């Protein structure tokens, strides 16, 4: 049984690493070719952008660490800081074409919401939106929560903020069925409102806008509210609002590798393993009941491993 499970792990690892390596090879080769004149980006031109293949590298590292169960609490915090800096700050540094390629236009959230606005306006949807969404989909199928946990700067900012421990009475633990229902209702309301009013519901609360560093008052307030909420709730924007979170949740049912809480593992053994991973709010009740620190009791569950079936 253990031998078969080990083979399954190596099989999934090979598929994941091979897929990302192929993406990186194609992207880096094409990116190295200088264009004589700026022209609209094609589908695979978008995948040449540093934000895409660097994101793939981060996911590759995250997947490898999860497989080896070598993510300590401090290492996770370090990665969160690096993720935020890489995907939100590098774009404004004087790094020429590289900085342009790290830009957050469109943001992950816009890649799923803006196409509806284009359709409503009777315009064709720019290919960049499909390409960005496809890259997120591929990473989410290789491993659930890979993009959200290892690339998204807004998610990283919330998780960093959540590390600031408040008294337990202030913590809000919402079951995933509630947060996911709210997230789905918002998206279901968003679609008809676009075609009815021409307005985008998500534009009223989009913390990604702050990462363009324009420091407009309204978007600054939205980002601040997001971080304040993150003191009380684990990744509140991700689980309550973000359409990309909803999109990746749908795809995680197809994921080759999954991270889940293993409730059958003895608590003391799980703690001594010192493995960490992002866990769903619905698992926090069980962890709290057994006095297990949040995001410390998690293992990689392989889709093809007999134990996971």
At residue 39, what are phi and psi to the nearest 5 degrees? -135, 165
Contact between residue 87 and residue 152 where contact means Cβ atoms under 8 Å apart: yes
User: What phi and psi, each to the nearest 5 degrees, are found at residue 122?
Assistant: 75, 25
Domain extents for the chain?
Answer: 2-308
- Residue 300 sits at φ, ψ, to 5 deg, of -85, 125
Tokens of 226: 């997001």
The Cα–Cα gap between 220 and 191 comes to: 26
DSSP-derived pairing of the beta strands 299-302 and 257-260: antiparallel
The encoded tokens of residue 71 equal 């993510």
Instruction: Evaluate whether 129 touches 111 at the Cβ level (below 8 Å).
Output: yes
CA 261 to chain centre: 18
Ramachandran class of 164: left when φ > 0, alpha when ψ lies in -120 to 50, beta otherwise: beta
Q: Output the pLDDT for position 258.
A: 74
Question: 267 is written with which tokens?
Answer: 């608590």
Q: Which two tokens stand for residue 306?
A: 């007999």
- Among candidate residues 309, 308, 306, the one with its CA nearest the CA of residue 2: 306
Residue 263 φ then ψ, to 5°: -75, -10
| Tens-level pLDDT at each residue, the chain (309 residues) | 444 454 455 565 566 656 655 655 555 555 555 444 456 778 888 998 999 999 999 999 998 888 877 778 889 999 999 999 999 999 999 988 888 999 888 899 999 999 999 999 999 999 999 999 999 999 999 988 899 999 999 999 999 999 998 888 888 989 999 999 999 999 999 999 999 998 899 999 999 999 999 999 999 999 999 999 999 999 999 999 999 999 999 998 888 887 665 555 544 333 333 333 344 333 444 444 443 333 333 334 433 333 332
Q: What is the pTM of this model?
A: 0.76
* Other C-beta atoms lying within 10 Å of the C-beta of residue 17: 15
Q: How far apart are CA 233 and CA 227, in angstroms?
A: 10
Q: Which of 110, 111, 21 is nearest to 59 (CA)?
A: 21
- Give bridge partners of residue 20 from the DSSP assignment: none
C-alpha to C-alpha distance for 84 and 162, rounded to whole angstroms: 14
């Amino acid at each position: 049984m253990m031998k078969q499970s080990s083979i399954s792990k190596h099989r999934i690892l090979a598929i994941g690493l091979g897929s990302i390596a192929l993406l990186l090879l194609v992207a880096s080769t094409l990116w190295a070719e200088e264009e004589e004149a700026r022209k609209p980006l094609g589908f695979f031109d978008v995948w040449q952008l540093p934000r895409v293949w660097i994101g793939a590298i981060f996911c590759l590292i995250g997947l490898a660490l999860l497989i080896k169960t070598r993510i300590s609490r401090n290492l996770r915090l370090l990665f969160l800081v690096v993720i935020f800096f890489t995907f939100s700050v590098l774009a404004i540094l004087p790094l020429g074409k590289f900085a342009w390629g790290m830009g957050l236009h469109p943001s992950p959230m816009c890649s799923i919401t803006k196409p509806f606005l284009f359709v409503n306006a009777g315009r064709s949807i720019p290919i960049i939106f499909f390409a960005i969404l496809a890259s997120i989909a591929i990473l989410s199928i290789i491993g659930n929560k890979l993009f959200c946990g290892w690339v998204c700067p807004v998610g990283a900012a919330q998780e960093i903020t959540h590390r600031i421990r408040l008294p337990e009475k202030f913590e809000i633990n919402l079951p995933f069925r509630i947060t996911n229902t709210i997230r789905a209702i918002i998206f279901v309301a968003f679609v008809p409102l676009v075609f009815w009013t021409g307005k985008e519901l998500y534009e009223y609360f989009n913390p990604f806008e702050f990462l363009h560093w324009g420091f407009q008052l309204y978007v600054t307030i939205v980002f601040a509210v997001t971080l304040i909420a993150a003191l009380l709730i684990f990744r509140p924007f991700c689980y309550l609002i973000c359409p990309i979170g909803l999109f990746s949740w749908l795809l995680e049912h197809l994921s080759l590798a999954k991270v889940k809480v293993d409730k059958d593992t003895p608590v003391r053994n799980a703690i001594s393993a010192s493995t960490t991973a992002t866990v769903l709010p619905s698992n926090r009740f069980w962890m709290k009941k057994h006095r297990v620190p949040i995001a410390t009791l998690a293992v990689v569950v392989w889709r093809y491993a007999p134990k996971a079936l």
